[in-house]
């Protein structure tokens, strides 16, 4: 009886995992429609399970669900995109601060192994590389002994995929592996200031890679945008 345990995943769990994967891999892109019955047919289950999965994805802000309307993959507007990166800087800086000089040898090894894996990945712009890049950040956050922090970082990392999909070019080396290496180095030699700075610089790089411009996001409203076209057509 020591056996058994866990294992059992409900149907909605499987669908949740599949959809989530498809979204962060950008197979499903922001704005794509997610009709419950179509998805259900596709997985061979009823709408019931699909609804549960969609609800969960909605809670994580990976899908938008308007009442009585088909759900769609979330597409963060520029303002939201900035808020997400802003928050990542805030949280992951905290991760760096807390981890600097406090990593065990085993943890450092785990991180270095992960970075090595990233380097060895053949296609640098592949879905796999993108996935690994995200995992690096999750791995790091998971080493802080605070599951709330880990969960928030993980959520933000996922949502970043949406932003890259919208404003960057698909999987354009989401994260420079060298920057990951620099972060690990600073952390393991216990240099908190450098670690924090490396993290900030890294996230800045990632954000820049996706040019979220669009009128600096403060000017973002339909009126302003349409006005530009009106001028052209006048």
Partner DNA sequence: CGCCTGCAAGGTGTATACACTTTGCAGACG
Partner DNA sequence: CGTCTGCAAAGTGTATACACCTTGCAGGCG
Residues in region 24-53 near DNA by CB under 7 A: 33-38, 40, 44-49, 51-52
Comparing CB distances to a copy of itself, the nearer of 99 and 115 is 99
Q: Which does 181 bind (CB under 5 to 8 A by kind): DNA, a copy of itself, none?
A: none
Taking the complex as a whole, how short is the minimal distance between the CB of residue 45 and DNA, in angstroms? 4
Q: Other CB atoms closer than 10 Å to residue 11's CB: what's the count?
A: 17
Angstrom CA distances, 162 to 23, 92, 135, 168, stand at 8, 19, 16, 10
Residue range at the interface with a copy of itself (CB under 8 A); choices 83-91, 135-143, 192-200, 226-234: 83-91
Taking the complex as a whole, how short is the minimal distance between the CB of residue 233 and a copy of itself, in angstroms? 26
> Are 54 and 47 contacting, i.e. CB atoms less than 8 angstroms apart?
no
3-state secondary structure (DSSP) of residue 25 = coil
Taking the complex as a whole, how short is the minimal distance between the CB of residue 215 and a copy of itself, in angstroms? 16
Please provide the DSSP assignment of 31-79 as one string.
T-EE-HHHHHHHHT--HHHHHHHHHHHHHTTSEE--TTS-EEE----HH
> Are 165 and 25 contacting, i.e. CB atoms less than 8 angstroms apart?
no
Residue range at the interface with a copy of itself (CB under 8 A); choices 82-90, 105-113, 185-193, 223-231: 82-90
For helices 147-167 and 11-24, angle between their N-to-C axes, nearest 10 degrees = 50
> Are 87 and 156 contacting, i.e. CB atoms less than 8 angstroms apart?
yes
Taking the complex as a whole, how short is the minimal distance between the CB of residue 16 and a copy of itself, in angstroms? 11
Give the residue, chosen from 17, 38, 70, 90, that forms a contact with a copy of itself under the rule CB under 8 A. Answer: 90
Residue 45 within binding range of a copy of itself, rule CB under 8 A? no
Identify which of 62, 58, 55, 52 has the alpha carbon closest to the alpha carbon of residue 21: 62
Residue range at the interface with a copy of itself (CB under 8 A); choices 50-58, 107-115, 118-126, 187-195: 50-58
Q: Which tokens belong to 139?
A: 């791995």
Q: Which does 90 bind (CB under 5 to 8 A by kind): a copy of itself, DNA, none?
A: a copy of itself
In a 10 Å sphere around its CB, with 0-12 CB exposed, 13-18 middle and 19+ buried, how is residue 39 labelled? Answer: buried
Residues in region 56-75 near DNA by CB under 7 A: 65, 67-71
Q: Which does 174 bind (CB under 5 to 8 A by kind): a copy of itself, DNA, none?
A: none
Residue 156 within binding range of a copy of itself, rule CB under 8 A? yes
List of residues contacting a copy of itself (CB under 8 A): 8, 10, 51-52, 55-56, 59-60, 67, 80, 83-84, 86-87, 90-91, 94, 145-149, 152, 156
């Amino acid at each position: 009886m020591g056996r058994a345990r866990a294992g059992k995943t409900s149907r909605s769990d499987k669908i949740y995992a599949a959809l989530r994967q498809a979204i962060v891999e950008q197979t499903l892109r922001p704005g794509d429609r997610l009709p419950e019955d179509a998805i259900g047919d596709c997985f061979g289950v009823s709408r019931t399970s699909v609804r549960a999965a969609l609800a969960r994805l909605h809670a994580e802000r990976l899908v938008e669900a308007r009442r009585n309307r088909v759900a769609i993959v979330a597409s963060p507007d520029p303002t939201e995109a900035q808020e997400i990166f802003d928050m990542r800087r805030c949280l992951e800086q905290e991760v760096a601060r807390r981890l600097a000089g406090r990593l065990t040898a085993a943890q450092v090894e785990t991180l270095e192994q992960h970075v090595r894996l990233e380097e060895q990945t053949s296609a640098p712009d592949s879905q796999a590389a993108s996935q690994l890049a995200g995992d690096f950040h999750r791995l790091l956050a998971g080493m802080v002994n605070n599951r709330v922090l880990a969960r928030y970082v993980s959520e933000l990392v996922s949502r970043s995929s949406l932003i890259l999909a919208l404003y960057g070019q698909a999987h354009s080396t989401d994260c420079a592996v060298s920057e990951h290496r620099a972060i690990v180095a600073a952390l393991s030699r216990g240099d908190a200031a450098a670690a924090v700075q490396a993290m900030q610089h890294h996230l800045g790089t990632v954000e820049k890679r996706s040019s979220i411009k669009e009128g600096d996001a403060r000017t973002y409203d339909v009126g302003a945008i349409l006005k530009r076209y009106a001028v052209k057509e006048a």
